Chain A
Amino acid sequence: MRLKLGVNGERREADILSGESLLYVLRERLQLPGSKNACEQGECGSCSVYLDGTLVCACLVLAAQAGGREVVTVEGVSDGDELHPVQEAFVEAGAVQCGFCTPGFVVATHDLLCREPAPTNPEIREALAGNLCRCTGYEKILDAVHLAANRMSRP
């Protein structure tokens, strides 16, 4: 079947099989491998994307359900070459090791800071509880979220 959807502000189309997930279509058919596939069952958050502005696990969304809707992936978070403050903060704070969880954390943090510009530690922990990281122990991820929040709140 033919799927038409918006991805990172562009109209995109692809021929898909009916059972394919949004994650598969993004990664394999639209050449956007930034969203990651660590569990493909909604447990790790590495595939986090926006679907019409709502944070979802792309692995749990049937691609067909995304027809006619707007998807924003990690590739769409930055403004051209310019990193988004969330991305900058993850690099600077050392919140990236192997980085496989990073795209998901970047999108989820972006979502959190849009909703709550100055989150407390418990709020951050709650908001990011659906994202697994095996490398960092999360300390530097907390630092990164605070750093990004500070930068974004500056006029």
Chain B
Amino acid sequence: MRGMETVPKIPTRERPAAPVQRPGKVGEDSVRVDGVPKVRGEFEYSSDLRMDGMLWGATLRSPHPHANIRSIDTSAAEAMPGVYAVLTHEDVPGRKVYGMEIPDQPVLAWEKIRYQGEPVAIVAADHPETARLALGKIHVEYEVLEPLADAEKAMKSDAPKLHLSGNVLRHVKIKHGDPEATADVVVTGEYEVGMQDQAFLGPESGLAVPDGEGGIDLHISTQWLHVDRDQVAESLDLPPSSVRLTLSGVGGAFGGREDLSMQIHSCMLALHTERPVKMVYNREESFYGHVHRHPAKMRFEHGATKDGELVYVRARMVLDGGAYASSSMAVCLNAATFAGGPYKVPNAEIDSYLVYTNNPPCGAMRGFGAVQACFAHESQMDKLAAELGLDPVEFRIQNAIEAGDTLPFGQKLPAPAPVAEILRRAKAMPMPEEKEVMGRDVRELPGGVSNVTHGEGVKRGVGYAVGIKNIGFSGGFDDYSTARVTLSIEDGEPLVRVHTAAAEVGQGLVTLQAQIAHTELGVESVAVLPADTRIGSAGSTSASRQSYVTGGAVKAACEAVRERLFERVRDEFGEDPNKLSIQDGNVVSGGSMIVSLDELLGSDEIEETVEYHHRETYPPDENGQGDVHLQYAFAAHRAVVEVDTELGLVRVVEISTAQDVGKVMNPQALEGQIEGGVAQGLGLALMEEIQMKDGKILNASFTDYLLPTILDMPPVKMEILELADPEAPYGLKGVGEPPTISSTPAIVAALRDATGRELRRVPVRPEQLVGIAERPPEQPPQPGSAGYAEIGRLDERIEQ
């Protein structure tokens, strides 16, 4: 099966370039350094990597969501010309399972299949199509089992156990205040959130290159290099130092790249074949190859006085974690802590359950547990306001939590916490013009160019919502980032080099790091080195944390460099270091120049590496109480929609938002985060759902999984508050997630306003809007006229 050509024994790849940027300072618009290569098509994404002599990897996945594996026969695949390796669980050199929080997920399945799409075998071949054909020649004998696809059923004591520990992965209980509290007005509601996909456009991909000495270099798109490295090393049975990861171009992430996909697989194939191995998932496989947002079923009860003061919240939330743990433990905690929303509510009893099922594993996605909670608490706020006869925004303002108040999980809310203020601002923003519906350009009506309504039956609605999100890792996790900053003179000009392992996934972190270096060291030329594991961990690009934590590390490393520089000026020129500053490449004191950096440093460089840890957080106690989170961010949204009440089609007219960001670091990048975050919130409100039937995905394609297009997205108007957080670098707050969290319930509130329907489930479907059904039918229609995502396809391909 081994081909005859020879390849160089130790192939190597050049390190990606670190282009010199001339960034603005913190707070200024700064054009991103990777912008030009990206518009030219020259930016190298992980799916673009190639090397001479490289092989292509492919993954055989289970067509069944629940099955026993009786046998795996790889001989026919191995005999195919062009096939270099066919590997199964028996070939995993080290730990046969992996997982970020709990290693419960097989690298390659043995004995048991727990979800449809679970990897069973991997192949390396000389052409991607050969690799795929070889998958079809692997014979796996399954004993198909009834899937346990319903989280509520999985919680029952008589349900089959999917893991030895049982099906309830975590239960967070929050007890706060008086459990018996009673109220004048009580509203209850049941809410559901469907399974959303991150749907980053750049598919999972990577290139593993053996070093000829038993070690491996992996070029990969990921959110967290070091947690990948450690898991890969464990499963390869190598010391971490023999597993080197370099971040390759990342085509979006949104949480979906926090877990491993092909990292271990590609390394196994490369070590086995002693050739570089590239793996790229196609879109269908991508739906099976990463975790999704947890679907949730929630029951909420709120009590208030007749004057509109919240008395209690009681909530029961069941989140479907799917087959494996991923980051579900943390999602469960987040959902519990944010069930009360950004409100003063003295009494709370909250149960958040995270349950194993035979559905696809769920994990991180933008908003991380707060999204589900927000849809429920904001729906409840509107219901309560209606019950009390109060204006929904005024009612929220009346109950808005303030700095110093205690959250239901016992933490005092740190300042700044301008919840009432952002609500006021969102309400005060000018309303979009309301053009007469009849006779409008159809492109400005629900259904648009489908030419369905010309104005008949179109109603407008307005809705509001506000959300709360923790920034950074919580619950006692030692959350830190590492930065190395080097100041030197290149070609007679000072240059700062910044090195971290922080993943740029599109958000603009590479530019932000350069802005910080410019600001702190007064040097205009900055090169941000490629992120890799040659330096300590930066933590994950998630939880809206990188600006805070890696930004903090870069700032601290710059300060350390500056301190050494000033000590040198003190020693050489007798100047008081406390009076020195750097301006345009010169060290100055009280406005007069002391020495240029060029003269001072010559061929020396000053380098400092700093680990920046944020303030400690703590796990909750048995009553769910504790200083669980680090920082809190808030956004409020107003949605204006128009609904064709006969067909249930929607046009979102405008979204306005007010958000406190602490400090605007890069205005253009901030706007991009808000607009993009709103688009994902709109997607969850109106169209995005992985549809499941008996544990199988019905719509694993972009034909059938709908994403907002430019036709669906309205203008986003924003008001930004800059209330500095005294603990955070530059006073900043993470900004990535709040735009996604409350935009969904704001849109649904607007839809309720337009239609008068209950709308207990997102994404809202036309049948809900016209009142045919509150939930989608149990037997959904066959998806996809293209016939691309038929559930039979995966079976056919594999079991021929």
Contact = CB atoms under 8 A, between A and B. Distances in A.
A56 B199 CA distance: 23
A98 B202 contact: yes
Contact of A139 (B508, B680, B715, B786): B715
Interface in B726-749: none
Categorize the interface residue count of chain B: 35 or more
A58 interface: no
Nearest to A32: B41
B200 interface: yes
A65 B624 CA distance: 63
Given A33-B41, A34-B42, A125-B711, A17 B35 contact: no
Contacts of B701: 39, 41, 43
Nearest to A73: B41
B506 interface: yes
A44 to B, nearest CB: 6
Contact of B48 (A33, A90, A124, A136): A33
A37 to B, nearest CB: 6
B506 A99 contact: yes
A136 B672 contact: yes
Contacts, number: 189
Contact of A134 (B34, B48, B199, B443): B199
A114 interface: no
Contact of A96 (B35, B45, B786): B35
Interface in A117-147: 122, 124-126, 128-142
Contact of B47 (A37, A75, A99, A133): A37
Interface in B260-286: 280, 282-283
A135 to B, nearest CB: 5
A101 B45 CA distance: 12
Contacts of A74: 39-41
B665 to A, nearest CB: 14
Nearest to A144: B39
Interface string B282-318: 1100000000000000000000000000000000000
Tell me which of A35, A100, A101, A129 has the highest count of chain B C-beta atoms within 10 A of its own C-beta: A100
Contacts of B44: 33
B113 to A, nearest CB: 27
A59 to B, nearest CB: 10
10 closest A-B pairs by CB = A34-B41, A98-B506, A99-B38, A100-B251, A137-B675, A137-B679, A74-B41, A91-B35, A43-B702, A33-B48
13 contacts: A34-B41, A44-B702, A74-B41, A78-B40, A83-B39, A88-B39, A90-B39, A94-B671, A98-B202, A99-B43, A133-B201, A134-B200, A141-B710
Interface of A: 17, 19, 27-28, 31-41, 43-44, 46, 73-75, 77-78, 83, 87-88, 90-92, 94, 96-103, 106, 122, 124-126, 128-142
Given A34-B41, A34-B42, A91-B38, 5 more contacts: A33-B45, A33-B47, A129-B711, A135-B672, A137-B679
